[in-house]
Structure 1
């Protein structure tokens, strides 16, 4: 099947299919006589596997490791279990961080009341003071842990 068809069948955009090939998550397909990519069922199966992993918020490195492990069907599944345990810990850390973010947002929202002008806005004032705290050296203004690349 051509890239448009595999994209449609997998629900993954064409650009993403190409990206997965480029980074090695998806093996390069054969080319037909016209030099078009020619995907097989195995490519579709791999894309659907990647999609399920991404839906579980797994990082590319985690997916790559799961693919490597899946290619050894007779091996002990302890490594798969260990990878999933690390990912679950990461998810729990993020949930905790998001709960703290929620508390901060609730406090900021409570700082606003009707009848104030923008210059008196407790939310904007709170964000300004929060930004000063976040601008401390070595910190960023994202929810901690949500954008870490390559961490398991």
Structure 2
């Protein structure tokens, strides 16, 4: 299949697919006689895996490590477990930061009872 078909199939734009080729997340595809890239089912499967990893906000280098682990097949899962555990730690830290942000924004919102900008407590607090 051509890049446009692959793009539609995996819901990625062609530019992203070419970028993934450039950084060696996916192998360079074969070229048809007209110079167009041609992709296989294996390319589709690999891109689906990469998209799922990106949905989980796994960094590119870790995706490369996960792809390499798949090639080994019967190796230890320690590296895979470590990558996912580290990502979970990052997500939990982000959740804590978002909770702090939520509390700060809620506090700002409840502090303002003014009807004019000159008397607005939110503006005063943001300026302090």
TM-score, normalising length: structure 1:
0.79
Deviations 1:73-105 (A, max 9, x none): 010111111111111111111111111111111
C-alpha separation in 1, matches of 2:125 and 2:59: 33
Aligned Cα root-mean-square deviation (Å): 1.3
Distance 2:87 2:106 in 1: 28
The residue correspondences of 1:81-120 to structure 2 (distance < 5 A) are 81-113=81-113, 115-120=114-119
What does the per-residue CA deviation read over 1:52-74, in whole Å, with 9 as the maximum and x for residues that have no partner?
Answer: 11111212122111111111101
Matches within 5 A, 1:39-50: 39-50=39-50
How far, CA to CA, are the matches of 1:102 and 1:19 in structure 2? Answer: 36
Q: State the distance in 1 between where 2:75 and 2:14 align.
A: 34
Counterpart for residue 122 of structure 1: 121
Gaps (5+ residues) in structure 2? none
Higher relative contact order (CA 8 A, sep 6+): 1
- Name the residue aligned to 2:25: 25
In terms of fraction of residues, the more helix-rich structure is 2
Aligned pairs for 1:47-86 (under 5 A) are 47-86=47-86
Moved over 3 A (4+): none
Query: How many angstroms apart in 1 are the aligned matches of 2:123 and 2:48?
Result: 44
Number of matched residues? 128
**Shift in Å, 1:127:** 2.5
